[in-house]
Structure 1
Amino acid sequence: MHEIYQKVFGVGKAIRGLDGLRAICVLLVLTDHAGLTKTSETGTLAVWVFFALSGFLIVPILFKARLRIEAGNSDGLTEIGLFMRNRALRIFPVYYLTLALIFLSTITVVSGDNVGKFYESISWLLTYTTNIYIGFVRHDWLGPLSHLWTLAVEQQFYVLFPLLFIWLPSRFWRSALPILLLLMLTVSAFLVFDDELMFRVNSLSGFYAIAVGGIFGLAAKRLGAVELRFSGLIILALGVVLILQHLYFIFGGHPNAALIIAPLLAGLLIMLVTVCQNSAATRFLELPLIRGVGVVSYGFYLFHGLLLGPSGRIVAVATGMREGTIFQGMQIITAFILTMIVSIASFIFFEEKIMQLKKRRATPITVAAGSNG
């Protein structure tokens, strides 16, 4: 038990504070999907922070790959192969495990409308195109499966972005990224801005949010560690502004405007947490329970939708309640506990073992010195 505790809740080895941000995001998703914060769409805000965080971490990894190519230490095909392999090892196994568990539940104990939604969308779920199915084929959400559209967008970005940028000289990255994100946002807005669902789930809107995070990720690499007075208060204030602008546009009837602004504020927030590692805000985000939720956040995000329904039934049987704020609160607590148990088990006994394979680096193809790949 001590070893499991240390792996999940112990001192982090990655950038301090980011797991804490992940934890807050998955909790906002959970409260939204349970109905407690549905009117304020906290899950939507969390997803856009997730997108920005993905870009913040992934784009600098690809930038380093480009630098290795330019130094003659690797080549484009090797770097793309390594990147795709590492992303696949992190994302695919537990994702397809989740789909397998859903399938098993549909042929054993689960019945009803959600089973039909699963079988209707199975080909889209398997191919990471769920966002296209939701927005442009079904024109509606998929119940407990709806949140999987975000993984489709991220996977599409992981496939397309390296193919576009790994061949681009590093000196052009910082100018090309803003041009690319503006182009993606413009095309997305021109085509489907008036349709809230289509604008939200289409790939270009997600790519825009991820690219924004990538720009801040490159900026953070250049800044390095920064000693900023009152950095904790600045980070807290920025987080409050991020939430307030979201609520302003959501309740004002302009949800798509919130999606445009959120990645910009989220990217800046993530950058400040990263470069101000000694801030009070970062120390708060590193509290063991908060950080632990973030460590297993990928599994938590995948599994929570499957456990919300059973959690509600447990609360109903135990208390006799079936609706109301108190019921929703108890359902969230129950779902949180169950999802954490499943997510920790998945992380320790499944995900972590598979991720060990990422340590095996392929031998690069020999490239002539000075080659740009």
Structure 2
Amino acid sequence: MTPSRRGSTPETYWGRRLRCWVKHPGHCPHSSTYHRRELGATPIDTEGPWRLGRRRGLDGLRGVAIMLVVAAHATVPGLDEGGHVGVTAFFVLSGFLITSLLVEEREESERVAFGAFYARRALRLLPALCALVASLLAASYVLREEFVSGSDALYSSFYAGNWIRAFGGHLSALDHTWSLAIEEQFYIVWPALLVAALAWKGRRAALLVALVGVGASLVTRVVLWQVSDDPVNRVQFGTDTRSDALLVGATLALVATGRRQWVSSGLMVAVGLVGLLVVSTLHISGQMSFVWVPTLATIAAGLAVWGIAGEGYKGWLTGAAIVLIGRRSYGLYLWHVPIFAQLGTDRIPAAIPFPLQVVLLGALSWLMTVMSWRFVEQPFLRIKDGRASRAHAAKGPATDDGRGGSAALVVGGHRQ
């Protein structure tokens, strides 16, 4: 019988772990899973195929991402790259979640209902965005101050704002909707490419398409930095130059959905989180900031996502507070920028200390987030859930193998 960890010498124990891991990765009888089973803990099932399901850790990671973005927009000292890093983490998560859902749907029903897919996206994303745009237009009219123009509202509502910014324009209080535009453009193109690749040569073809896209996006970012007349805006806001993070997430999803479940890696999650925080604190500019920070942040976010996606993750990213922030991250992302930009500079007395300003503006942002969730997002999510339930019931109970958990994950706050 294999000696227990307590009874082994360090050399013997770790030597056996290494040899066993090389021969049987993920199934080593010397692993922590084996010892938890010996001690009577509930074993982690790694026998079945991987399914997305409800993974609180992914909500927690989204909470970390939105806090980095808010801190950067609040000009918190020491987080110069927090905005870049947080948005990049959102991209990786979005690519991972959307691709997982699409692949699972195709495996279950042998097709993807594109109409239902885009209806779900619209019901999840458009109501809160339209509420923000309408509120800013109303405030501009009532206060006789142009928080946002009609053209800004139009570009943002039709998810074209990133290209306005890529060529030097601005969207006033809606400047931050550039990232939503990139995601929506990805949602338009990627599902069709994914399904076509899967139908052509299966998962390997889809992986090839995703990996080629990652490389092409990175090369485009490097080249345009050298040749563009306005490299900062073109590289930062172009869909072609920022798609690598989305496609890295898609690549991880394609690998995950094609294998058995695996035990989560708290170490990998920790390395990814530390990487995100370290990159956020870099004080750099130029090519390093706009070309390579997104690359480093993509790698760090990918490590964290993969670690969380394994079975049994119970780290601090599953805590109630960080999960709640993550599940409300969409509304918080929408509302914090207008509040910090319009109130932080002009309307709060300079006598109020900076930390207190951040707290006050953060509290107001959270209040608007809660109101958006309660009165705008939730009603439409109930419509979305009703449509999903009816479609699921039409397939029959035999197809209920976990996608209900996936839908709950998206409803729970993922920006998809």
Compute the TM-score of the two structures, normalised by the length of structure 2.
Answer: 0.72
Which position in structure 2 is the counterpart of 1:179? 212
Please give the per-residue CA displacement for 1:285-331, whole angstroms capped at 9, x wherever unaligned: 222222111111100100112222565379834xx526xxx41x222
User: How far off its partner does 1:174 sit?
Assistant: 2.1
Tell me, yes or no, if structure 1 residue 126 matches structure 2 residue 157: yes
Higher helix share: 1
Tell me, yes or no, if structure 1 residue 288 matches structure 2 residue 335: no
CA distance in 1, matches of 2:346, 2:172: 20
CA distance in 1, matches of 2:320, 2:361: 20
CA distance in 2, matches of 1:291, 1:232: 17
User: How far off its partner does 1:51 sit?
Assistant: 0.4
Which position in structure 2 is the counterpart of 1:151? 180
Letter in 2 for 1:122: A
Residues 268 and 303 in structure 2, CA contact (< 8 A), matched pair in contact too: no
Please give the per-residue CA displacement for 1:177-227, whole angstroms capped at 9, x wherever unaligned: 112222233334333456122111101122221011111123333455533
User: How far off its partner does 1:48 sit?
Assistant: 0.3
Which position in structure 2 is the counterpart of 1:340? 366
Which position in structure 2 is the counterpart of 1:369? none
Q: Structure 1 residues 225, 340: closer, same or farther in 2, change over 3 A?
A: farther
Q: Structure 1 residues 253, 40: closer, same or farther in 2, change over 3 A?
A: farther
Tell me, yes or no, if structure 1 residue 268 matches structure 2 residue 303: yes
- Per the alignment, in what secondary structure is the counterpart of residue 56 of structure 2? coil
Q: Structure 1 residues 81, 262: closer, same or farther in 2, change over 3 A?
A: same
Match of 2:271 among 205, 213, 237: 237
Which position in structure 2 is the counterpart of 1:206? 242
Please give the per-residue CA displacement for 1:158-189, whole angstroms capped at 9, x wherever unaligned: 11112222222233222221122222333343
Please give the per-residue CA displacement for 1:206-263, whole angstroms capped at 9, x wherever unaligned: 22210111111233334555336xx434422332123334545835861111112321
Which position in structure 2 is the counterpart of 1:9? none
Q: Could you say which structure has the greater relative contact order, defined with CA pairs below 8 angstroms and 6 or more residues apart? A: 1
| Matched residues, number | 332
CA distance in 2, matches of 1:238, 1:285: 12
Please give the per-residue CA displacement for 1:342-366, whole angstroms capped at 9, x wherever unaligned: 2122212321221122232476999
Which position in structure 1 is the counterpart of 2:120? 86
Q: Structure 1 residues 214, 336: closer, same or farther in 2, change over 3 A?
A: same
Which position in structure 1 is the counterpart of 2:357? 331
Letter in 1 for 2:192: L
User: How far off its partner does 1:123 sit?
Assistant: 2.8
Residues 40 and 251 in structure 1, CA contact (< 8 A), matched pair in contact too: no
Letter in 2 for 1:302: L
Deviates more, 1:120-129 or 1:32-41: 32-41
CA distance in 1, matches of 2:170, 2:260: 41
Match of 1:103 among 137, 147, 151: 137
Which position in structure 2 is the counterpart of 1:7? none
Please give the per-residue CA displacement for 1:330-349, whole angstroms capped at 9, x wherever unaligned: 22211222222221222123
Residues 94 and 351 in structure 1, CA contact (< 8 A), matched pair in contact too: yes
Which position in structure 1 is the counterpart of 2:107? 67
CA distance in 2, matches of 1:128, 1:261: 26
Which position in structure 2 is the counterpart of 1:300? 332
User: How far off its partner does 1:45 sit?
Assistant: 0.8
Letter in 2 for 1:184: S
Residues 135 and 202 in structure 1, CA contact (< 8 A), matched pair in contact too: yes
Residues 78 and 281 in structure 2, CA contact (< 8 A), matched pair in contact too: no
CA distance in 1, matches of 2:244, 2:158: 21
User: How far off its partner does 1:41 sit?
Assistant: 2.3
Pairing of 1:347-362 with structure 2 (within 5 A)? 347-359=373-385, 360-361=387-388
Residues 268 and 304 in structure 2, CA contact (< 8 A), matched pair in contact too: no
Tell me, yes or no, if structure 1 residue 321 matches structure 2 residue 351: yes
- Per the alignment, in what secondary structure is the counterpart of residue 190 of structure 1? helix
CA distance in 2, matches of 1:217, 1:150: 21
CA distance in 2, matches of 1:291, 1:335: 21
Which position in structure 2 is the counterpart of 1:371? none
CA distance in 1, matches of 2:104, 2:139: 43
Which position in structure 1 is the counterpart of 2:254? 218
| Bigger Rg, structure 1 or 2 | 2
Q: What are structure 2's unaligned runs of at least 5 residues?
A: 1-52, 396-416
User: How far off its partner does 1:66 sit?
Assistant: 3.0
User: How far off its partner does 1:75 sit?
Assistant: 4.0
Compute the TM-score of the two structures, normalised by the length of structure 1.
Answer: 0.79
CA distance in 2, matches of 1:110, 1:54: 38
CA distance in 2, matches of 1:242, 1:306: 25
Letter in 1 for 2:338: L
- Per the alignment, in what secondary structure is the counterpart of residue 128 of structure 1? coil
Residues 224 and 275 in structure 1, CA contact (< 8 A), matched pair in contact too: no
Tell me, yes or no, if structure 1 residue 27 matches structure 2 residue 61: no
CA distance in 2, matches of 1:89, 1:99: 16
Residues 34 and 331 in structure 1, CA contact (< 8 A), matched pair in contact too: no
CA distance in 2, matches of 1:310, 1:156: 28
- Per the alignment, in what secondary structure is the counterpart of residue 254 of structure 1? helix
User: How far off its partner does 1:144 sit?
Assistant: 3.1
Pairing of 1:42-57 with structure 2 (within 5 A)? 42-57=82-97
Letter in 2 for 1:287: G
Residues 269 and 303 in structure 2, CA contact (< 8 A), matched pair in contact too: no
